[in-house]
A and B are shown apart, each in its own frame.
Chain A
Amino acid sequence: MTGTLAVLAPAIPAPRIEYAQLSPLLLVFGAAVAGVLVEAFAPRPLRRALHLPVAFGGLAGAFALTVAVAVASPVFSGGRPGDIAAVGAVAVDLPTLFIQGTIELLALISVLVIAESSHEVSAFAAQAAAVPGSSAERESLAAGISHTEVYPLTLFAVGGMLLFPASNDLVTMFVALEVLSLPLYLLSGLARRRRLLSQEAAMKYFLLGAFSSAFFLFGIAMLYGFSGSVRLSAIAAAASGNTSGGVLLYSGIALLGVGLLFKIGAVPFQAWKPDVYQGAPTPVTALMASCTLASAFGAVLRVFYVAFGQLTWDWRPAMWAVAIVTMLGGSIIAVTQTDVKRLLAYSSIAQAGYLLTGVVAASPAGLAGTMFYLAAYGATIVGAFAVVTLVQGHGGEAAHLSSWAGLGKRSPLVAGVFAFFLIALAGIPLTSGFMGKFAVFQAAISGGATPLVIVGAISSAILAFPYVRVIVLMFFSEPPQDGPVVVRPSGFTTTAVSVGALVTLVLGVVPEPLLRLAHDAAARLFVG
């Protein structure tokens, strides 16, 4: 009987999976699964000690493998710019590898901040299920425990972030988007202090994120209806042969754009960003502000350069408008902020606008500039949020600006480092922020978007005001009586802040090596 069936059934060829090229992704997901096993089988006191080597090893190993794949890339079959792995689902090319390497390094620094445990047990809730203010919560706090699930959740999120810009078809991209988003929704709600704020941030992030991914998905459906495929190259081919316009194509681009622009937090889809950045545990905010942004921009670049590369004249006007309102909106609202984390969130919105000018350039130079900016900005913002975790008041972090007054007189080093990060975010020369802005603006000018660059310069000038105000507040005002204290961090946070500051300085003084790497990677463009 079985023999007959075997004869009748048509032979299904086994898919060829390029394990070597997918190894960075597989390692991160493998480490995440190992973390789940640790959570399931290891006794509670041992868990943190087991999670740390798994998380650090997984991310560092993934970076090493990414470098190895990039070094081996000249042998991509037949001189192509890259390879398509996993039966067409994942693209392995140099721009993607550059972005993946950036994400892995930034995630490594973020995990350092996540792992900090010297001034409190951890930044994460003792028991997320215990109602805030209840006796159950007091008991769990007194027991000195915390959620170690954050390590596998972080690794799953990072795995999704690595896949997101590498997706070669839109369904893979949607799955990657959810794999990166779902753990982040949970992580946002796990703060140890100010739990109501944290839970509210998680709810807002979740509802708005699910809402936007519905738009993303409907956009995919429209493009599938238009081209009969979800493969980016097939959509590009169908779009270039398109002569009759097409409601499906343009509504698909618009809806897909809404989903992607939500993830990068561009105006008018920015509403979630300040709330989530403020409410989430600060180490998670650092992860979101650096890695998620890099990943989402990688996906934006891939979709708009590969699938809609022939339609530049159609999407550019809309992208111009979004970039302008994002740059101006983010910087103007930042001026009125009184909370450090919220201020950094609005500044991050404005930075997303500067990065969009690199996307608008629609050239290899724009691609390279955006990639360089992502690496430079990511290191700066992780360092800045790591400093925020150190300034502690009575009920946890003292994020309100009034309590930062006179910080420079009490802790000159910490205040000095934070001022340096703010100067870098403002884009003053000799910092990486200046080089990053210069790279994207130069690409935008040669791409014919000079008005955008003028708006960008105005926005930078506006944004410098709140930064300078914070610096003046820290160094030229008297500290309040019962002000916050700067806690003494362990090696984890110290390393994160130092690496952030060092990268910010080095990329500002000698940006050449990384810029050249970005240009070399971008010259090969995305594989279609």
Chain B
Amino acid sequence: MISPADYVALAAILFVIGGVGVLIRRNALVVFMCIELMLNAVNLAFIAFARLHGGLDGQVIAFFVMVVAAAEVVVGLAILTAIFRSRRSASVDDANLLKY
């Protein structure tokens, strides 16, 4: 029997996978996808908690998160496209003009 608490555990696992991906991947697009994975893990957690508490708040919040994530994609892809066009590279290691 799968309980809502198991979904919370799954959400935590997905969140950690996304977080590790952000830290070890080089391609800015993949890094961004890992961040999206983290946001979706949060959505899963909200919905599981909403089920646990028997309320609807968590489900509504998941919609808020989706809308904000969509807005973030628009801004993020605009920035990543601009930087790819000027550098011909989407690697976060190549962007190294600003340091120390």
Contacts and interface: CB of A to CB of B under 8 A. Distances in A.
B32 A207 contact: yes
Contacts of B15: 214, 218
A217 B28 CA distance: 21
A203 B79 contact: yes
Given A175-B64, A182-B75, A210-B76, A221 B49 contact: yes
Contacts of B92: 203, 207
A229 B50 CA distance: 10
B1 interface: no
Contacts of B45: 218, 221-222, 225
A201 B98 contact: yes
Interface in A220-236: 220-222, 224-225, 228-230
A159 interface: no
Contact of A186 (B53, B75, B99): B75
Contact of B55 (A175, A182, A228): A228
A207 B35 contact: yes
Contacts of A129: 82
Contacts of A279: 97-98
A195 B86 contact: yes
A527 interface: no
A202 B92 CA distance: 12
Contacts of A207: 22, 28, 31-32, 35, 76, 92
B83 interface: yes
B68 interface: yes
Interface in A147-195: 171, 174-175, 178, 182, 185-186, 189, 195
B53 to A, nearest CB: 4
B98 A278 contact: yes
A200 B90 CA distance: 11
Q: Bin chain A's interface residue count.
A: 35 or more
B42 A218 contact: yes
A210 B41 CA distance: 14
A224 B46 CA distance: 8
Nearest to B85: A131
Interface in B54-100: 55, 57-58, 61, 64-65, 68, 71-72, 75-76, 78-80, 82-83, 85-87, 92, 95, 97-100
B46 A197 contact: no
Contacts of B78: 186
Given A214-B35, A225-B49, 10 more contacts: A175-B64, A186-B75, A199-B79, A199-B82, A201-B98, A202-B79, A203-B28, A206-B75, A214-B39, A224-B49
Interface of A: 128-129, 131-133, 171, 174-175, 178, 182, 185-186, 189, 195-197, 199-204, 206-207, 210-211, 214, 217-218, 220-222, 224-225, 228-230, 274-275, 278-279, 336
10 contacts: A133-B86, A178-B71, A207-B35, A210-B32, A218-B42, A221-B45, A221-B49, A228-B57, A274-B98, A279-B98
